Structures are given as C-alpha cells and as structure tokens.
Chain A
Amino acid sequence: MIPFDLAQPQSLAEAIKLLDPDDPTVRPFAGGTALMLMMKAGLFRPKLLVSLGRIEKKYSEIAADKSGLRIGAMTTLSALEQSPDAKKLTPVISRTLRTLSNVRVRNVATVGGALAHGDPHMDLPPVLIALGATLTVAGPRGERTLAVEDLFTGYYETVLAKNELITEVRVPAQDGKRASYMKVTAGSADDWPALGVAVALQAEGATVKSARVVASAATTKATRLKSAEAVLAGQVVDHRLLARAGEAAAAEADILSDVRGSAAYKREILRIYVGRAVRAAIEGRMH
C-alpha cells in the first residue's frame, strides 16, 4: 500500500471536522475491511484516513425496545449477529449475518461501514430495506434521518456527503412480519452473492397482506422491486402467484453482467428466487 496519514479523533464531532467535503482522498475508516481492499488494489489512494475507532462508545452500542433496534453505526457485524435483542426482534438480521463474509471480517466490519460503502454485494442493505430500516446521518450542520432504501444512488454511490457519517440504524421489530434473505452464489459456495433477495411480509396464513421485496448484488444497488410487491399484495401464496411475482421482478430489475454471471442468467435466477424467498419467509426458514 501507498503511504497515507491517519487521524484518530476522540469524538464524532472531531471526526466530522477532519473530513473534507471536497476531497475524495480524505475518508472515514471504520472497520476498514472494504477500504483496505480498495487501497491494496490501488483503486483508492487516500491522503488521510480518519479512524472512527476512538469516537464515543455509544456509537458502538445496540439499544432495544419493543418497537425495534437502535444500532450504533460502529457496532461490529459480529456484535449484531450475537445480540440477543437482534435475535428476538429481528431474527432475519441475525440469520443473514451468519453467512456474511467470514468470522474475522464480521469481527471488524461495522454496520455503518457496510452501508456507507455502497457495495451492492453486501448482504445487510437488502435486509434492512425490506424491514423498512432508517438511519441517522451526522454532518457539520447537524443530523438528518433517511430510509436505508434512499441511501443508495448507484454502484458504490450513496447520498452521503464526504463529511457526513452514519451514526445509527433504526430497525423496526419484525413483530409478526415474516422475512427471509436468500444469498445465491454462482461460484464457490462461499462466494460473494451473484444475487441477494430479501423479502419481508405481513401475512395471515398463506395470504400476503403487504410485501417488500429487495434485490441486491445482481443490481447496481440494493433495489426494491415494487412491481413484484404489488403482485403479492393481498394474494394467497401459491405456485402461480410466486411465478407471477418472479416474472414481475425479472422484468423490473436493472441487472449487470460480471464474472459471476451474465445479466440474462442473473435475471433468470431472480425470477426463481423471488418465489423461493417468499416461500421461505412464509414457512419461516432461510436458505
């Protein structure tokens, strides 16, 4: 790696001050697992990294009440994975994290980093979008709140300004909501996903009252598939309904070709996996 400077501010406010809204070579550094890859590959050459490791402890904590979870952005993925509150209130998140990358990465990577990086292959964003999670962002002029759904604008692109930091993610409790996440790999079993599909459903028996369906990895960004959601809403789940939802999703999604498969192939597995994910949610199991 090419030399750079590193700052270790003691507070969030100090960190924000160190960031430069106009300089892409100054970047915040949380767990660093994703940023390190870009730096090693020469894709990112920082002048200054602002390490968030020493900011206030509260940004690494998980709070819970009946309405849901408040996850500090510096919470590591393994802390969230093992959180009893998460297991109780948002079991789909705990299950998703189990197969996210590997234990060592989860021990270091943070919830905020997984979102701010804007990588469409990440497993957490589609699940958070399906659950209707929101996040709090802090910048020089204070805080703002937005839906995770509105965070991503494109391939590795978000609405965050270069001097804004995610501070907290709020996830509503699943309550009766049934949810699943399916990670589909096309290389080795533990590859990055070629496709991720997250669904969250309000359902009574086999009848879907409302649904959120989100695709990731195959798309430029984690994306809600609203036409598939519309097909499902108010309907009884059966083979034909799932086929129609899959068709709608395949028609709607904007899909990329890469080393993990052609767009044609990924569209095809999206068509299949929307139905499988819905069925898994209804039946309360995960892929």
Chain B
Amino acid sequence: MSAEVHAETPPVRTPAGSPVLAPGHDFATVTDKISALVLTRPTSRGWWIGFSLSFALVMLLLYTIAYLLTTGVGIWGINVPVGWGFAIVNFVWWIGIGHAGTLISAILLLLHQQWRTSINRFAEAMTLFAVACAGLFPLLHMGRPWYFYWLAPYPNSMQLWPQFRSPLVWDVFAVSTYLLVSLMFWYVGLVPDMATLRDRSTSRLGRVVYGILAMGWRGSARHWYRYESAYGLLAGLAAPLVVSVHTVVSFDFAVSVLPGWHSTVFPPYFVAGAIYSGFAMVLTLVIPIRAIYGLEDFITSRHLQNMAKVLLATGLIVAYGYLMEAFGAFYSGNPYERYLQVNRMIGPYAPMYWSLLVCNVLGPQLLWFRAFRTNPVLLFLVSLVVNVGMWLERYVIVVVSLHRDFLPSSWGMYSGTVWDWAMFAGTIGLFLSLVFLFLRFLPVISIFEMRTLLPEAKVKEEHG
C-alpha cells in the first residue's frame, strides 16, 4: 500500500495527476447516479428523436437489402476490374472501428490503466455494434448470399470443405471469433452491474429481466475471485485476438498479387489504423453523450486527453505506413507498384488520396497542442475528420488499387451508386440505433469497477 492511499485525499489520483473520477462520490452515489440513467431517468425527447432518425435509416437498410437479394449485387457500382467496392470498404471501416473497445478493455486492463474503467463498458458496446455492422457486408456482397454457409466447415452431401488457404475463410473465423469473444467479454463485465440493476429496479419486469441477465450474481467473495481470474484471462486472450483480427483482414489484400495490395506492411499498418479509427469513433460518441448525460464526473477531461494521445500516436504510425507504402513502391523497382503509387497521387482518384492524407496525417497533428486535447469540441471535430479519413483510406486501398492493375486494356473506373450509399447510411443507422438502445437499457459505465476507484474500496489493515 502506497503512502498516497493512507493520506485522506479524495479525489483518487492516478500517478499522472488529473483525476479519473471527480471528487465527492461514494459507493452509493456512484451506484445510484449511473443506474439512474437506466432505471429512473425519464426517456428524453432527444433520445426519441435520435432513435427514430437512426431507426429510419435501419428501414432504409432493410429496403436496400431486400432489393439487393432480389436483384443482385449489380445494383452496386462494382464491375470488372473493380470487383470490390463500398461493401468491402465499409466492412474494413466498421471492423476497424470495432477494435477500440476490446483494446481499451483488454490491453489497458493488462497495463493497469485505471482511466480505462469509465469508458471500457461503452467502448465494448460500440465494438459489438460496429462488428455487427461490419459483419453484414461480407455476407451481402456475395453474389449468392444464400449460400454463405458454404464458407463454414460442416459435413455435407458434396463432401466439400471450405478452401482454407483463402483469406476470406480466415476472415470468417477471425471475425466470428472476435464477435463472440467481445460479446462474452462485454457480458461478463456486465453481470455484477446486472445484479445492481436487479436490486435497484423498482418494477417487477425490470427485476425479472435484469435478474435473468444477472444469473443470480450475489457478489460472493469466492465468485469474485474466480470472476477476476476469468476476466483477466479473457483480457489476456482478447489482446492478441484484437491484433490478429485486423491482421487477418489485411491479409485479404496482402495475400493477393495486386499492386497496392500485395504488401508486407499491411498487417501492422492495418492494426494501427484500426485502433486509430476505433478511438476516433469512441471520442465521436463519448464526447456528446458525456455532455448530454452529465457524466463529466466519470468521464473526465483526463480520459479525453489520454484518448487524444492514443489517437495522435496511432495516427503517426498510420502516417508512417503511408510513407512506407510510397517508399516501397518506388524502391521496389517494380513498374506496377510504381505506377500504382503515381496513379494514386495524380490519377483520377488523386483527390481522394490527398484528402485522406489531410484527414489522417495532418488532422491528428493538431493534437500536439494541449488546447485541442483538452477542448471537447475541438477534439470531437478532429475525431470526425479521422473517421472520414479512415473511410477514404480504405476506399483508396480497395478501389484505386483495383481500377488499374496489370494490363492497361482492362483498366476501369468505379463509383458508388445510390444503393451503395443507401447501404452505408443504413449501417450507420443500425449502429446508432443500437447505441441508443444501449444507452437506454444498460449501464453506460461499469458501476462495480467505479466503486473500486473510491478510496473506501481500500481495506485499511490495523496492523499493516
């Protein structure tokens, strides 16, 4: 026990200084304030408006999917040579976003970063929703989606199996594993809070529903012991998983022969990009929610600053990735690679390439300035820019590499159709709807972990 703990100095300070939990809270207030968001706080008009808008987009998504299934992927802009378009761009974008949550929960947990506590629950939820959106695309971009199950290994009357050398099959395993593990991680984290809600809930229905979800959690010391152990193990497993998932996604490209895809820098640079976009999205969502639900006490400026720093760091890694790509292209002496890079810079899609550099490389440089890290509004704007930038990056990787490959005779152009956009907007709607539901029905912040941040949580030994 450090001397600091003995000293009666709430608020809790982490080594770095500024607080991760505002002063003046105890077990009761923490518990009541957070559970109140779900149990007692009346559903605001703002929530209804926001939810209805996002849900309208979900309807658009459903309509697009129905049209897609009856007519075919030809409703999109894809063609030969550009066989992948928005679908894969969006898939990679969403799956990238879906990396922050588990990263924050798992890796920061292993690193004993206390400040993670108040944002991990939220980040994990966001991860799940993002992965759910991502999952739609590989499924629906297939020419015959109703045969999706052929990608899964199961004994069948054709005696055929998936082709395990194909990165797409790796994707199936990686993404579904990631979804399951993130789900378990999230749910396990929720169980004690479900118990809290069960015990706080005033309505019978609430008690039953949260009761079932709590699985009869009663906070037994023995349970806590195994619980902690399991949670630690999960974190240990999730950390490499996060890294592997986007690595595998990058294999979709890196394993091919295509100039602009066939590149060894992809795995690390995709992972960095994923964390980058993930944190950007967390900020994009956390900053407004924090303001609306008055959670400044729990999600303090300290959190925003730390996330801003992560954003800056990963942004620099990504920038390095771009640099290496360009360098490699010219250094390789491979005419196709060289042409691709030139084509990116001055070809028909040059505007996208340059705006991606502006968004992803210049944008985060602002975060060198304290002002940008501490000012939520500015930080929010930067995070938006990064979200856009990361989408553009995937667009450049997927489309620009495909549209001019080896034989000039088959060079082509690509542009998304209204249905491409409808689908993209639809998934954004789906994502937001899920976020709104989450805000309404589940504790946004891990209550029991917040308790552990309080000084009272420390047992004072008489004879220490």
Answer whether A and B are interacting partners.
no
Q: Interface residues, chain B, CB within 8 Å of chain A?
A: none
Q: Interface residues, chain A, CB within 8 Å of chain B?
A: none
